[in-house]
Each structure stands twice: as structure tokens, then as C-alpha cells.
A and B are shown apart, each in its own frame.
Chain A
Amino acid sequence: MNEIYLDNSSTTRPFREVIDLITDISLNSYGNPSSLHYKGIEAERVLKKARYEIARVLMSGEDEIYFTSGGTEANNLAIKGTAYRYRRQGKHLITTAIEHPSILNSLYRLQKEGFTVDYLPVNDQGYISLERLGQLIKTDTILVSINHVNNEIGTIQPVEQIGKLIKQRNPRTLFHVDGVQSFCKLSFSLASWPVDLFSCSAHKIHGPKGVGALWVKTGARLTPLFEGGEQEQAWRPGTENVAGIAGFGLAAKLSAGQQKQDAALMHSLKHSLYQGLLDQNLKVKLNGPPLEEGAPHILNLSFPGVKGEVLLHALEEQKILVSVGSACHSRRPRPSHVLQALGLEKQCLDSALRFSFSSFNNRREIESVIHHITEAVKSLSRI
């Protein structure tokens, strides 16, 4: 039997069409987009097309898309780029306790440099309090950064409402949304949102690793993270990863095109897995929001009495691949800061597993997963 890959929040399998395009562009349209000759113009055209595809999915302007080397860089550029640019306007930033390390660690660095940061707590489902946010926004608040879909528990923050609140309290405060886990997974339009910056990453949507983008609404300004050329309007210099960006554009186009069907499929797989485990009378606790409220592709469960890492390896022996937390820090087995923020008891913290789905998964796989989890949990709790 083939592996059952349920770690799609870590990374996804690139679409075949995307791989073919990357190969073709790499071998044939290899010019440097900054070159003035035909090879350069050809490569520039490839970039333009990808930029158009991404902009179309986000319903934004093409000149508002800045390609980066991935989600981490996009988040760093959003946080530090605005902080350094607007430091004269104020030095206060707001985020949540359940952000990705690329946001949290960027903010820790800013704190060391004299910025002030407030970390909003979340309730037991991972939602922030709008009231609390409203109280925190002051005249010197330059940025609020909030993840759209949490990568570990799938909580969807009401970003539209959050944005309205921010602008109402302080129209000059910029709003960044880390959309790495929501881009092409949920349907939305940036055009109608009170959002100023939005990060996304290609390898989470069946595109290549090493490519991402930051959307910056016209009018918002940034200080670049690094210098050295005029690429991406000098906000992100360096020769563009042409083939990777082309792959990103196509992955976005394809993912967005099938978003509705995919979301429906993943929702139903998520429900089946959870319900199936309950039917086996397993001790299972759902972490995060109620199933129907959370993102379609993320399910976080605790199996009290079993060590998450041990269960992960027991499932791995059955060729089922899952995660204990977000991949970016799961190599160090530390309790997840997200689950801690939910107020989980130690038993639940230590036994949490994340199942994350893609459109490549199917019902048969889920049945097999239910079977193997049940077996593993039963035998592990006996020990």
C-alpha cells in the first residue's frame, strides 16, 4: 500500500502540471528577467503571467504582488518592513499568541530593538477577542498582524471584522494577514477587505518550495529586508526564481479553480475521521474550533494517555504520515505554543496530533487511518 499523507499543512505534493511547467521554464525560458534581450523579455513575460494569476486569485492589483522566497520571508518582510518604515509614526505592534514562529520571532527581535508588542490571548477555540484588540489599538500602533487560518488547529479568524475594527480605531494602523494556510483553501477577495498586507506560500498549495509572495496594498510602504537590485520594485532584490514563480502562479490558478470542490472534500474527510474515531469509542479530544467552523484541511486531536510522538511513529509504521505540531519547530519536541495558548491540560498537550488534508486524499484512506489509529491507541494505552 502507498503512504497516506496527512501532513498537508507542512507541505503539499506539487501538481503534475506545475512540475512540468517548472521543468519547461527551467530548461527553456532560463533568461534573467532583468536582461534587455529576448531571453530576458521571455523570462519577464513568465513573471508577468504568474503575477497576474496570483493577483486574480487574490482579486488585487498585479503591481501589489511581491514575490519572495517563501512564507517566512513574506512574513518577515511584512513585519520588519512596516516596523522600520513607520517607526517615526509609532513603535507599537499587536499580534496574537498563536502566530507562526516567523511572525513571533520577528516581533521578538523588534522588541529587542525598542518596539513594543502586545500578544493577544485566544480562547479555548483559538479565537481572539475583538474587544480586547480594540482596547489595545492606540495612536502609535503601526501594525496588527494576525494569522487567517492557524496552521496547527485551523481556527479561522474573522479578519474582515478585525480589519474594520482596526481602521475604525486608528486608520493609520496597517493590518497584515498571514494567509499562508488560507490562500486557495478559503474563498475570499482582498479587494473588499480592510487588509493592507497578506502573505502566502506556494508549497502549501501544491506549488514548489522556495517561493512565496507578499501582497501590499497600494499606498502602504515597506523598508526592504535586503538590498541589491531593482527587482520587485526594489522591495525584494535578487534575480527572480522564474521557474518557481511560474509554478506558483499555475498552482494558485489550479488550486483556486478547484477550491470549492476541494474544500467540500476535505471537510467531509475531516468529519469522517473525527466521527470514525468517536465511533470506535476512543478517548479523543478535538483541539480548536468546532469542526464546521475550522479550516477544511486541518484537524487537531489529542489522545489522552498516549504520547503524540509515539503515536506518530506507530502510524508511520503503517505508512500514515501526520504531524505533532507545525513542522517548522516539530524537530524539537516542545509542547506547541498554540495548544498551550488554548489552555490545554498537559495530557492533551503531549498527545496532540495534527491531521491535514489535501484534494489528493480520499475516503478509503481515512477508513484505513481510523483503523490504524484505533489499533495503535489501544495497544499504546495498554503499555
Chain B
Amino acid sequence: MGRRLVYMDHSATTPLREEVIKAMEPFFRERYGNPSSLHSWGRETRQAVESARRKVGLALGSEPEEIYFTGGGTESNNIVLQGIARRRGKGHIITSSIEHHAVLDVCRDLATGGFQVTYLPVDRYGMVDPREVEEAITPGTVLISIMMANNEVGTIQPIKEIGNLARLKNILFHTDAVQAVGKLPVKVNDLGVDFLSLSAHKFNGPKGVGALYVRKGVSLAPLCNGGGQERKLRPGTENVPGIVGLAEALELAMGELSPRTAHLVALQKRMEEGLLKIGGATVNGHPQLRLPGHINVSFNYVEGESLLLGLDLQGVAASSGSACTSGSIDPSHVLLAMGLEPEVARGSLRLTMGWENTAEDVDYVLGVLSPLVKRLRKISAHYPQSRSWEGLKGV
């Protein structure tokens, strides 16, 4: 098999689609007016921004005016958490132990101020239990923030049930849907959320632009102050091409959701079967309720970082955790929360597939992985060298 380049790190970021850059280009080339300008060029780009807002609203099942454009998923998450905190001043926040750092780090900060934070545990599949959410609620609870799908293991959380609960108890509910949007149906009213964060570059849109759904009537304090853009929640000259690109990418992704899902599920199945044949492999995350195309696998006696390096040398781009933290070699907080032993957590590899991946890509990755794992085990001090691999089944 010849060497090829295979990108399987779609949870970190995705390639921009040609259709999306085509939609963005006119707003770089001719239609570059500032949407806040009074003249015709300003009105033209204002219309483009508002049309993008309608598209996003349509995709999420919200009113257009409930959509705010931001600089990305991290900013969207921060606007919600800090925005509520600033409005309320004190209170209790419920979140999970497997959130993205954009949620966890803000919570950690708020906990040093006037807030109490409950970090809910997850089961061995990385799933939050709605009953535990219910039990954690106190009279002082101001916000529940649970991600829709986890970025490391892909487990899809019971957002609808938590949403029902939040509504019943009249508590604001935020979901970080950065990994879910573009891969799962996301309708804000079905989910029962008051806030939802998304990021364009996770669904073949541009980097540097995200959106936030804020239910009508809910008020947030802005992170940044400035002009009147995005009804003062997110001031600054609008990233018009980026916003247009986000809407276009979202519309494309939602329009192709079912063929895309079928494609990704097929690739995922092929990959999982192949991985299990290598032996000593455990797929982390929920067996069924997982993002399509998302695989997090641990090989015993193998370091995830070494796997990553070996794959990289063969042209395979994968990840050993979420990209934002992959510079560190601490075992992932998500895998640890799921109860994995630190050694197993360190051996984890994340393969996240996208619409452009093929069955040949999967076979190529498996073809590289199999000898790589064997070679790494051979040099591992912990691997029982005397025994053949077959003897280890069930370890």
C-alpha cells in the first residue's frame, strides 16, 4: 500500500468546503462594506449578515434574532457563563466533569468568586445521568451547562431530558454543541435549551467565527464592550465573510445530514472492527450514543503520543486528546472521569472522520496502526514479552 495523507482529526477542525469559500469570496472581493455604514455598501453587507442569521435560525429552529455571531465556540461558551455570572453575581452552577476547557476553566474561575460549582460525574461511557442533575439542583442554582456531545469520546448526552428538567425547575440551561452541530439534528426547542454554542470550523466552515443561541427574553452581560453590533452582546465590526461562511456551511451540513451520517457510521463500523482485530484495544465512549465517525480507542501497553507520532510519519493526522490540550501529556480529564486507569487513558487515540474520508482511508489507517501497535508493544517495558498476544485476550 502506497503512502497517502489521511486527515482523521475532524473533532479538532475540518477542511473548509469549496462551496463555503465560494460563498465567502464576494464579501472579500467587492462587497467589503462595513455593515454599520449608512451607505448602500453598508446596507448590502448588513443584509448578508441578517440573511446568515435567518439561515442559522432556520437550522436551529430558532428565531433569527435569537442568534448572535461570535469569534468562535470558546467565546460563545464564555459569553454564556461569564454573562450569567455577571448578571447574577452569585449562585450555583451545575456542569459536568467532562466539559471542554472553555466551560471548565470559566467555572473554576467563578468558583473563586461568588459561585458554587457542581461538577457532575459521568459513567464509564462518559454519560451524564439526568437524575444526578436533578439531585444537584439547589434553590440557588442559576445555570446548568452540559455539552451536547463530548469532544474526546463523542458520547452524546441526554440533553432533551436535562432540558425538560431545567424547564420544570425554571433553571437556565446551556449546551456546548460545538461538536454536535453539523453531525446531529439540533433544534433548540426540542432540546429545551436556553443557550447553545456552536463553531463554524467544526462543520467545514471557516475558523474564527461561531454563533450563540440565546432564548428570547434572557439577558446576558457582554464580555466585550464597544459599538452596537450583535445588539451589544458582541460588539466589533462583523466578520462578514466568516458569518456568511458559517451560515453556508451549516446549511450544507444540515441539508446532507442523513447521507453524511450513514457514510460516517459505515466508516466508523469498518474502523472499529479493524481496531478490535489488532487486539488489546478498547473503544472508549458510549457504544451506540456516540457522534458518527468518532472513535476513541485505547491500546494497552502503548502510549497515545507514540501512536500519534508513528501515524503522523505515515501521513495520518489523528489526535490523542482534544487539540487544545494535546500539547500536554497529562492524561485526559474526560477519560479519567470515565474511570479509566491513567495508563490506559495515556494510551488513547482519537480518530474522528469527516465527509471526505473513504473506506480506503480507513483501511490505510488500519494498515499503519496494526504493525505500529505491535512494534510499540515490543519496546514497552510493561508488555509481557514472553507471552504471545493471543494469551492476553480479555486483559
Give the distance to chain B from A225, nearest Cβ to Cβ, in Å.
Answer: 6
Kindly report which residue of chain A lies nearest to residue B33, judged by CB atoms: A11
- Collect the chain A residues with CB atoms within 8 Å of residue B82's CB: 226
Contact A328 B312 (CB under 8 A): no
Q: In angstroms, how far is the closest chain A Cβ from the Cβ of B127? A: 23
Nearest chain A CB to B41 CB, angstrom units:
6
For A244, the chain B residues whose CB sits under 8 A away are 206-208, 239, 242
B318 to nearest A CB, angstroms? 7
Evaluate contact between B241 and A5: CB separation under 8 angstroms: no
Q: A22: which B residues are within 8 A, CB to CB? A: 28
Interface positions, chain A 301-339, Cβ under 8 Å from B, are 309, 312-313, 316, 321-324, 327-332
Q: Which residue of B lies closest to A34 (CB)?
A: B323
CB distance from A299 to the nearest CB of B (A): 17
With an 8 A cutoff between CB atoms, is B15 at the interface? yes
CB < 8 Å: which of B105, B229, B237, B312 contacts A203?
B237
Q: How far is the CA of A100 from the CA of B319 in the complex (A)?
A: 43
| Interface assignment of B201: CB less than 8 Å from any CB of chain A | yes
CB-CB contacts of B232-263 with A at 8 A, as 1s and 0s?
00011111111000000000000000000000
Q: Does A12 contact B (CB under 8 A)?
A: yes
Q: Which one of A25-33, A278-286, A368-376 is at the B interface?
A: A25-33
- Cross-chain contact A36 with B319 (CB below 8 angstroms): yes
Interface size on B, residues (CB 8 A): 74
A16 CB, nearest partner CB in chain B, Å: 8
| Residue of B77, B102, B109, B236 touching A71 (CB-CB under 8 A) | B236
Known A228-B106, A237-B102; judge A209-B323 contact (CB<8 A): no
The interface bits of chain A over 68-111 (1 if a CB of B lies within 8 angstroms of the residue's CB, else 0) are 01111101100000000000000000000000111001101100
Q: Is the CB of B312 within 8 A of A327?
A: no
Contacts of A71 in B (CB 8 A): 236-237
Q: Determine the residue in chain A with the shortest Cβ distance to B77.
A: A228
Given the known A-B contacts A73-B224, A76-B225, are A35 and B28 also in contact in the complex, defined by CB atoms under 8 Å? no
CB distance from A323 to the nearest CB of B (A): 6
Contact between A330 and B38, CB atoms less than 8 A apart = yes
| Contact in complex: A230, B325 (CB < 8 Å) | yes
Indicate if B376 sits at the interface (CB-CB under 8 A). no
| B56–chain A nearest beta-carbon distance, Å | 16
* Contact across chains for B236 and A102 when beta carbons are under 8 A apart: yes
CB of B343 within 8 Å of the partner chain: no
How many residues of chain A have a CB within 8 Å of chain B?
74
B365 to chain A, nearest CB (A): 12
- Check if B9 sits within 8 Å of A227, measured CB to CB: no
Contact call A323/B12, Cβ cutoff below 8 A: no
Q: A75 — which chain B residues lie within 8 A by C-beta? A: 226
Question: Are B224 and A34 within 8 A (Cβ)?
Answer: no
A293 lies within 8 A of chain B by Cβ: no
B301-318 interface code vs A (CB 8 A; 1 in, 0 out): 000010011011001111
CA distance A321 to B12 in the complex (A): 42
Give the CA-CA distance A366 to B75 in the complex, in Å. Answer: 42
Find the A residue at minimum CB distance from B40. Answer: A316
Known contacts A40-B323, A102-B235, A226-B223; is A238 also within 8 Å of B9 by CB? no
| Shortest Cβ distance from residue A241 to the other chain B in the assembled complex, whole angstroms | 3
B16 contacts A by Cβ under 8 Å: yes
B-side contacts of A230, CB under 8 Å: 324-325, 327
Query: A23-B25, A34-B327 known; A321 and B74 CB under 8 Å?
Result: no
A150 to chain B, nearest CB (A): 16
Q: Which residues 134-171 of A have a CB within 8 angstroms of B?
A: none
Let me know if A239 is at the binding interface, CB within 8 A.
yes
B90 at the interface (CB under 8 A from A): no
Residue on B with the closest CB to A231?
A: B324
A30 CB contacts on chain B under 8 angstroms: 13-16
- Is residue A3 within 8 Å, beta carbon to beta carbon, of the partner chain? yes
Known: A37-B311, A230-B327. A101 touches B226 (CB 8 A): yes
Minimum distance in angstroms from B72 CB to a CB of chain A = 5
Q: Is B155 positioned at the interface, with any CB of A under 8 Å from its CB?
A: no
Which B residues lie within 8 Å of A5 (CB)?
Answer: 41
Q: A73-B224, A76-B226, A321-B37 are known contacts. Are A327 and B237 too (CB-CB below 8 A)?
A: yes
Residue interface mask B190-206, A partner, CB < 8 A = 1: 00000000010100001
Interface centre among B13, B15, B103, B315 (most CB of A within 10 A): B13
Does B21 lie at the interface of the complex (its beta carbon under 8 Å from any beta carbon of A)?
A: yes
With A11-B32, A32-B12, A226-B74 given, is the CB distance from A72 to B208 under 8 Å? no
Query: Across the interface, which residues of B come within 8 angstroms of A39, CB to CB?
Result: 7, 9, 317
- How far, in Å, is A152 (CB) from chain B's closest CB? 13
Q: How far is the CA of A225 from the CA of B102 in the complex (A)?
A: 12
Q: Which of A32, A225, A327, A329 contacts B42 (CB 8 A)?
A: A327
- Residue pair B224, A76 in contact (C-beta under 8 Å): yes
| A327: min CB distance to chain B, Å | 4
- Contact status A225-B223, CB under 8 Å: yes
Q: How far is the CB of A19 from chain B (nearest CB, A)?
A: 4
Q: Which residues does chain B contribute within 8 Å of A108, judged by CB atoms? A: 225
Chain B CB within 8 A of A53 CB: no
- Would you call A327 and B320 a contact (CB within 8 A)? no
| B347 CB within 8 Å of chain A | no
Q: Contacts A19-B25, A332-B228: A227 and B323 contacting too (C-beta < 8 A)?
A: no
Bound together, the chains give a CA A242 to CA B206 distance in angstroms of 9
B209 at the interface (CB under 8 A from A): yes
B71 contacts A by Cβ under 8 Å: yes
Report the separation of the CA atoms of residues A286 and B92 in the bound assembly, to the nearest whole angstrom.
57
Q: Which of B18, B40, B74, B199 has the most CB of A within 10 A?
A: B74
Chain B residue with the shortest CB-CB distance to A71 = B236
Q: Cβ of A40 and Cβ of B225 under 8 Å apart? A: no
Contact A312 B324 (CB under 8 A): no
Return chain B residues, CB-CB under 8 Å to A226: 74-75, 78, 82, 102, 106, 223
What CA separation (Å) do A13 and B34 show in the bound complex? 10
User: What are 10 A-B contacts with C-beta separation under 8 Å?
Assistant: A16-B29, A36-B308, A38-B315, A69-B208, A226-B78, A238-B75, A244-B206, A321-B33, A321-B41, A331-B228
3 closest cross-chain pairs (CB), A and B: A241-B208, A210-B239, A228-B102
Q: Which residues of B contact A (CB under 8 A)?
A: 7, 9, 12-16, 18, 21, 25, 28-29, 32-34, 36-42, 71-75, 77-78, 82, 100-103, 105-106, 109, 199, 201, 206-209, 223-229, 235-242, 305, 308-309, 311-312, 315-320, 323-327
Known: A34-B12, A239-B74. 8 other contacts (CB 8 A): A37-B308, A72-B237, A208-B28, A237-B74, A242-B207, A244-B242, A322-B39, A328-B227
